[in-house]
């Protein structure tokens, strides 16, 4: 879809496990599963499923290499819905009757991935994983200055999180095949814009290979 995107072929020297966090954005039932809110509208969920296949491999590689893993999650209630969100939805003709990632609905649950002890977990209300959270504090406390970003969706929460990370002086990498939109053109163009303004693009294969070498080096 569109012109080829620029990728870093070998990011090994840029994503050292001791100062890098793998960020998993919003891999949740309502965003990724056929029985979630988006899926119930008849949306083709295969882009999300393919991205999660790669996210699973990245999580395993990060854990083995000793990189930090961070799980971001939208957690909402009627009381936390912002006025701007409700007004925006109303003005664009949406009733907003089926809210997303409601606490207690099951839609807010992780889908196919899950944190383990020692991982970072962030609950958020808005698109950016930094907005109204202590994500930056937790990352700084671990000596993290580099983020490898994955998740859903490319044009929304991945984009917002990546831009906010850049503004907070984190080096940002976006894994192009481990994030997804439900419109391939939107996915492609978002990656293009991020690569031109804030981030370096990498593939899941390149990141897994880099961390595998780091893991091997640590065992020598």
Write out the catalytic residue numbers. 26, 124, 157
Identify whether the C-beta of residue 112 lies closer than 8 Å to the C-beta of residue 42.
no
* Distance (Å, whole) CA 99 – CA 158: 20
CA angle, 210 then 28 then 98, to 5°: 150
- Element holding 192 (H helix, E strand): helix 184-197
* Distance (Å, whole) CA 52 – CA 76: 23
Give the rounded distance of the alpha carbon of 198 from its chain centre: 15
């Amino acid at each position: 879809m569109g012109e080829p995107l620029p990728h870093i072929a070998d990011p090994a020297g840029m994503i050292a496990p001791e100062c890098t966090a793998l960020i998993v954005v919003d891999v949740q039932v309502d965003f990724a599963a056929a029985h979630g809110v988006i899926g119930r509208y008849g949306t083709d969920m295969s882009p999300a499923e393919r991205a999660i296949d790669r996210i699973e491999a990245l999580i395993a590689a990060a854990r083995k290499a000793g990189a930090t893993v961070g799980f971001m999650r939208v957690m909402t209630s009627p009381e936390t819905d912002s006025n701007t969100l409700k007004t925006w939805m109303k003005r664009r003709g949406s009733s907003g009757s089926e809210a997303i990632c409601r606490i207690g609905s099951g839609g807010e649950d992780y889908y196919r991935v899950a944190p383990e002890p020692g991982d970072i977990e962030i609950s958020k209300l808005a698109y950016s994983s930094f907005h109204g959270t202590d994500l930056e504090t937790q990352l700084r406390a671990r000596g993290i200055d580099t983020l490898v970003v994955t998740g859903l969706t490319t044009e929304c929460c991945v984009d917002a999180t990546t831009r906010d990370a850049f503004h907070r002086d984190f080096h940002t990498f976006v894994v192009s095949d481990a994030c997804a939109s439900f419109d391939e053109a939107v996915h492609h163009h978002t990656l293009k814009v991020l690569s031109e303004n804030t981030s370096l693009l990498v593939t899941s294969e390149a990141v897994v290979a880099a961390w595998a070498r780091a893991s091997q080096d640590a065992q020598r």
